């Protein structure tokens, strides 16, 4: 393709035994905002999401629902596809592990691992939990008062299983993984997760059972189709399937290695230990960075099915608006931390940050321009120090926000942007354009130009977070579509351009009960 730098970002692929909730929406939102930012910044971006559809759990859930596994996964996978529209995500690809191309990629990777001598046939015996799809050591299980053996006192029921299994020689990769982490300090973020992984690997690695014979809903092992590939070997491979693996002449292969895998903190081991080991063993380049996001609680409580307190993205966006919801999720909590979803906090952000600070800034500026400047971008007169100070701060944001995005520090990026919004509000008060209207209309016009131009610069940077709302604001500034990327960051508003009638973009949120009284 062109000489542009590529940027490949992925969500976890979502397991289809669950309906989409805030956790899924959150991880994908983070990827979406990054993908949008990188596109605006001129990168050749590929943004992948999808669903993980194999395994014994899915096979059983399908049977329980009276459906074939394929029909069952078709249905659930669609609910994740629907989330894209609800949240206004912008993926370039949606992968399903039940696709043909994925079978081919997994089997090709398997054969590479065999050829490299990293896979051998052995036997696995142990306590197995169907529900967990996991084996447990004898010491990890105990027999309850009902006579059933469980994985821990409150775990799921386990049964003794012995089966032939292929193993991946993970035990041989400990030192090479530690060296890899050492040479790639940015590979795992945040820092505390990196510490956990390194400590885990230093504790010693055992070979990994990578096939099952106890069920059939999965990808057959090449040459030994009684064996089904371990679901994680299957699932992780999706990231290279998308790029055409093993066909390196596929045009999408230019995106590998991935720049960023965003995942939930629960699956960090698979992505930071197994995945790089598989890839190194197969002679495939390793991804550059894995970022583990935290979990959300609701009003201080753990989200659970029994409490029924899960945040439904459809309901949340319907009540508060899509963009405010997107903004809140990334502004309220430092990315990587756990977060608490509080209604009061969301309304606070919506009113204080969006309606009052940003929305009202746009409104007060645009309405003066409409009323007093003939509905045109006013003439840019001679700039004084206060003007250039504000404009320079807005311009400086681009570099600041870029740096914060490199760390996935969305909340800090937004904080920096909102500091300039506050500066702009202070500037309005200090310049008092309503007073200048009587004493010095020329100066008033310059002040209004400075403000409109500041809003333009700020809004360009807010686009990845709130694409719809910012599009409306840029429309009101008559910024043409092709001038909305960062390449056009320095393309100032042209005086004399006709502007449409201003309209509020971020209405205040009033509790329905309060509005009624």
Partner RNA sequence: GGGCCCGUAGUUCAGUGGUUAGAACGAGCCGCUCAUAACGGUUAUGUCGCAGGUUCGAAUCCUGCCGGGCCUACCA
Q: CB-wise, 422 or 442, nearer to RNA?
A: 422
DSSP 228-249: EE-HHHHHHTHHHHTTTTT-TT
Q: Which is nearer to RNA, 465 or 506 (CB)?
A: 506
Least Cβ distance, residue 432 to RNA (angstroms): 6
Query: CB-wise, 41 or 234, nearer to RNA?
Result: 234
Question: How far apart, in whole angstroms, are the C-alpha atoms of residue 52 and residue 58?
Answer: 10
| Burial tier of 215 (Cβ tally within 10 Å: 0-12, 13-18, 19+) | middle
Q: Cβ 156 to RNA, closest distance in Å?
A: 8
Task: Kindly tell me which of 172 and 478 has the beta carbon lying closer to RNA.
Answer: 172
Q: Which is nearer to RNA, 15 or 325 (CB)?
A: 15
Minimal distance, residue 48 CB to RNA, in Å: 14
- H or E stretch covering 490: none
Q: Which is nearer to RNA, 5 or 78 (CB)?
A: 78
- Indicate the residue among 132 and 492 with the shorter CB distance to RNA: 132
For the chain, the first-to-last Cα distance in angstroms comes to 61
- Which residue shows structure tokens 């299983």? 161
For residue 127, whether the previous peptide bond is cis, meaning omega lies within 30 degrees of 0, is: no
Secondary element (H or E) of residue 14: strand 6-15
Residues β-bridged to residue 229: 211
DSSP state of 170: G
- CA atoms 343, 346, 347, 352: torsion sign: positive
Nearer to RNA, 73 or 209 (CB): 209
Does the N-terminal peptide bond of residue 190 adopt cis geometry, omega within 30 degrees of 0? yes
DSSP secondary structure string for all residues of 425-443: HHHHHHH-HHHHHHH-HHH
| C-alpha–C-alpha distance, residues 365 and 477, integer Å | 11
Instruction: Quickly list H helices, 229-307.
Output: 231-236, 238-241, 268-269, 275-282
Q: How far is the CB of 4 from RNA (least distance, A)?
A: 31
Q: What does DSSP say about strands 119-129 and 159-168: parallel, antiparallel, or unpaired?
A: antiparallel
| Nearest distance from C-beta of residue 2 to RNA, angstroms | 34
Q: Residue 508 CB, nearest distance to RNA (Å)?
A: 4
Q: At its nearest, how many Å lie between RNA and the CB of residue 6?
A: 25
Residue 286 CB, nearest approach to RNA (Å): 19
């Amino acid at each position: 393709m062109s000489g542009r730098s590529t940027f490949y970002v992925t969500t976890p692929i979502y397991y289809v035994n669950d309906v989409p909730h805030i956790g899924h929406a959150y991880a994908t939102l983070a990827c979406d905002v990054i993908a949008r930012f990188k596109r605006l910044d001129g990168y050749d971006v590929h943004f992948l999401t999808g669903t993980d559809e194999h395994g014994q759990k899915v096979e059983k859930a399908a049977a329980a629902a009276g459906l074939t596994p394929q029909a069952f996964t078709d249905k659930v996978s669609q609910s994740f596809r629907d989330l894209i529209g609800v949240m206004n995500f912008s993926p370039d690809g949606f992968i399903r592990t039940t696709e043909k191309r994925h079978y081919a990629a997994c089997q090709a990777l398997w054969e590479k691992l065999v050829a490299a001598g990293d896979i051998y046939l052995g036997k696995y015996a142990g306590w197995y939990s169907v529900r967990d799809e996991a084996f447990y050591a004898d010491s990890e299980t105990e027999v309850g008062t009902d006579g059933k053996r469980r994985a821990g006192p409150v775990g799921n029921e386990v049964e003794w299983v012995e089966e032939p299994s292929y193993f991946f020689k993970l035990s041989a990769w400990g030192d090479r993984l530690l060296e890899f982490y050492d040479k790639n300090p940015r590979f795992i973020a945040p820092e505390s997760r990196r510490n956990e992984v390194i400590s885990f690997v230093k504790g010693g690695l055992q070979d990994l059972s990578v096939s099952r014979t106890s069920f059939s809903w999965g990808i057959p092992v090449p040459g030994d189709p009684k064996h089904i590939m371990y679901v994680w070997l299957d699932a992780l491979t999706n990231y290279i399937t998308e790029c055409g693996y093993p066909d390196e002449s596929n045009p999408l292969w230019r995106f590998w290695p991935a720049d960023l895998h965003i995942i939930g903190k629960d699956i960090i081991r698979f992505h930071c230990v197994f995945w790089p080991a598989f890839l190194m063993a197969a002679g495939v380049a390793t991804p550059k960075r894995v970022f583990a996001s935290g979990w959300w609680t609701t009003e201080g409580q753990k989200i659970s099915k029994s409490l029924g307190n899960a945040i439904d993205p459809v309901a949340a966006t319907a009540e508060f608006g899509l963009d405010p919801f997107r903004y809140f999720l990334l502004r309220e909590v430092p990315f990587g931390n756990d977060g608490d979803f509080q209604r009061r906090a969301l309304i606070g952000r919506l009113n204080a940050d969006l309606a009052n600070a940003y929305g009202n800034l746009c409104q007060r500026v645009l309405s003066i321009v409409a009323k007093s400047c003939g509905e045109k971008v006013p003439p840019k007169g001679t700039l004084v120090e206060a003007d250039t100070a504000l404009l320079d701060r807005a311009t400086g944001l681009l570099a600041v926000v870029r740096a914060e995005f490199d760390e996935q520090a969305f909340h800090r990026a937004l904080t920096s942007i909102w500091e300039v919004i506050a500066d702009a509000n202070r500037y309005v008060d200090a310049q008092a354009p309503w007073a200048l209207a009587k004493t010095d209309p020329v100066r008033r016009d310059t002040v209004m130009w400075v403000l409109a131009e500041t809003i333009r610069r700020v809004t360009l940077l807010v686009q990845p977070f709130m694409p719809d709302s910012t599009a409306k604001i840029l429309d009101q500034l008559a910024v043409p579509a092709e001038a909305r990327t960062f390449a056009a960051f320095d393309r100032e508003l042209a005086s004399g351009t006709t502007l449409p009638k201003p309209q509020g973009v971020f209405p205040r949120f009033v509790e329905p009960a309060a509005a009624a009284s």
